[in-house]
Chains A and B, each alone.
Chain A
């Protein structure tokens, strides 16, 4: 594709790391209590992409996870289901069957996750396979090597090709911000992904640290805001990796609320890629409900 396909790149603003950290500190200082806290925790629960991405994953484990996704806490049936279950392509069919009749979506990582180090043809084939197996959403990884050496056009083209391969499925573009190193790069990669057709932009695979820091997430939220103002198109956001407790999750929601506004505060536009987060949210909600903290073994590990 011609280089003119990425005209807006030159407009990617720079990010001042000191100012960014100060803004994040303000978000962290927000004190979310009582009714605000309960509704934020329920919201966070409904936004989780319950994830298992390990070599040792089994159909049985995926089915367990699907059960958890539909009914996170058997002790409280008023709680919402999570947004999606996220698995490798080979387990998409299992998840799809287990979630039949529910509104929980099936997401699948593809494109040679997590490294992205395969030829583009194979990566696109993996997307087509996952979609054919029933995936509603595809989480792709970008070629960080190409991005870092300045070959933005190649990255743009691969994202556009992946979007095409997705068909009806939603495309989440994983930037792997831990490998991009600077906030300027995160911003540029976010703009690139959105221009190339991403439905969601996502921080990390969860396999590289640091992953979804609040700072990186804020940079991406601001990119989404600017993109929306410029084009009128809403793009979703998914921080993933490293968000383990309810308090951190609420901070992320505060950032979304004050950066993008309430329109993005739905599972349609914001997701948490997480696994251990779920039980901490359930524990905090049980605390709000009963006044007492329950033991960790009162919540299911799936």
Chain B
């Protein structure tokens, strides 16, 4: 605590002297020097979610990697499924490189679906890191056994219950996948986090569920070991050419593409598949991104890019990250830019298809 106070007062002092001497810190032209500064990392969710875990993992490493070792604090600004925080960040202009923003799939989807609450524009921001993740669908043991014996047809008569956070959130990806497979899944909305969804599954009220990779590893893997849950498929991952392949974190699980091909009701082409693929690509392989605000100069972008690159190139990075992030690409530089583009642009047919489907199936009106 004392440490923070002194750093904050140092920041005050630095701020005061900067007023007198102009922007001395930027004068050397080699990038930012953030000595004595406090970097505020805005996370548009509460302290409980996956984004909090992700930011809390990176924050201390970022502090080490940035020139001048600034204090990095994570600020949580939850609200309206992350649109509150994103709108706030949109209103900020670049000042001194001490404000960054962490977005997630739940920030991307409303943007892609033209949600009226969205007042932000990804094109204005500057991406410096893109972190991927995956997702795994799992079933209770009895249904998994039934499917093993009777194939996917054995699931067609089942009334599935799924604890969902909302059809316009990341849950859109599994819901659409199940619909394509021909399953009758009724989402029970109002779940406060995927952890609550898992609890509902454990209580036997929900009988199908999905978790993102890190939560699967920590929360569901023990259930699989105990024999109460059985993994069905992972959504997959993108290879270098943009094809959906098996998720390297779960090489033994089929990808959704494989399951879909095998299922009579499902096709890996056509408008439904294209829409699913587009939203999967938007939601998972570049799920969480770090941005500098609009108007950031190149040197600031470079400084942060180098810092994040230095983190992901650490010798012990795999060791410290595998349990918390899983084995997924942590992209910086051009790769991050490419990931951003594929995550924030979906073909119009895909978004039209999804908007239409949301309206017909769940009565969601995005106006």
- Are chains A and B native binding partners rather than an unrelated pairing? no
